[in-house]
């Protein structure tokens, strides 16, 4: 028998990532952090956590997760582009404000188009 596929969950306050089985009807319970008992956030199977000491990386991750962006595999492999620095996030937030485009859509776009004024 094959093992169940695994996916990633994170605890933002603890800066911790955990691989667990995909949710199914049998195990669709709320997952809790073993360190602090806060609910874990399902981030997807293509997730690679920043190092625990990387404060900027975890802040960027928090912004992405709060915008509803996750790290699920696509038909071509990985989840696609995700910003890694606060500078990249700030550029995309400014672009979203200038164009009126949804933040979640702009955050996953690799290239930003020139804004007409």
Instruction: Quote the CA–CA distance of 21 and 112 in Å, as a whole number.
Output: 36
| pTM reported for the whole predicted model | 0.83
- Does the pLDDT at position 1 exceed 50? no
Quick: pLDDT tens for 19-49: 988 777 676 678 999 999 999 999 998 899 9
Residue-wise pLDDT for 58-95, tens only, equals: 999 999 999 999 998 866 666 788 999 999 999 999 99
């Amino acid at each position: 028998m094959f093992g169940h596929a695994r996916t990633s969950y994170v605890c933002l306050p603890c800066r911790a990532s955990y691989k667990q089985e995909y949710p199914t009807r049998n195990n669709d319970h709320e997952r809790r952090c073993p360190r602090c008992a806060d609910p874990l956030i399902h981030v997807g199977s293509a997730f690679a956590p920043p190092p625990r000491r990387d404060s900027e990386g975890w802040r960027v991750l928090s912004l992405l997760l709060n915008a509803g962006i996750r790290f699920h595999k696509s038909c071509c492999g990985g989840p696609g582009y995700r910003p890694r620095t606060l500078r990249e996030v700030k550029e995309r937030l400014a672009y979203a404000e200038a164009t009126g485009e949804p933040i979640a859509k702009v955050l996953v776009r690799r290239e930003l188009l020139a804004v007409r004024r």
